[in-house]
């Protein structure tokens, strides 16, 4: 089993959502690069970094911060949040991301995801879905 410590980014700061709701967020003043460095010092091999602004806007918004984090740590970075276009993927990989996670794109444009997998390879693109249990019937919710 691989444990991915996660960090959410909002407005250039670390943040946290209450039950995944963008309207119910808490921001922390902790430096994101220092937070990921803490994951590394605790023994993590990977860090999962989510651009909540990008998820909200449908395009990555924390590119500079991602670069800062990548330059500050040696753990592998898995990033998510608003990746829709090839340029978004190229920019994140150029900034130091090792893998990009997509959630809603496979539901809205599965052909694009197949093309991204062909271009970048399955080791660099991950698909994530949130499962919401209502009674005993799982429901899939895109991020």
**Residues identified as active-site:** 8, 130
Distance CA 62, CA 10 (A): 8
Strand (E) or helix (H) holding 23: strand 21-28
Distance CA 5, CA 21 (A): 19
Tracing tokens 């500050």 back to the chain, one arrives at 72
Tracing tokens 């921001």 back to the chain, one arrives at 27
Whether the Cβ atoms of residue 25 and residue 50 lie closer than 8 Å to each other? no
């Amino acid at each position: 089993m691989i444990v991915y410590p996660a960090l959410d980014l909002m407005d250039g700061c670390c943040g946290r959502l209450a039950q995944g709701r963008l309207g119910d967020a808490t921001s922390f003043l902790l430096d994101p690069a220092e937070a990921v460095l803490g994951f590394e010092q605790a023994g993590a091999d990977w860090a999962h970094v989510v651009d909540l602004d990008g998820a909200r806007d449908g395009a990555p918004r924390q590119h500079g911060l991602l670069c800062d984090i990548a330059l500050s740590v040696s753990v592998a970075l898995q990033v998510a949040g608003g990746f829709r276009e090839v340029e978004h993927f190229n920019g994140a990989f150029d900034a130091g991301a090792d893998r990009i996670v997509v959630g809603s794109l496979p539901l809205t444009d599965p052909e694009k995801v197949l093309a991204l997998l062909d271009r970048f390879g399955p080791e660099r693109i991950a698909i994530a879905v949130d499962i919401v249990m209502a009674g005993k019937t799982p429901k899939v919710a895109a991020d």
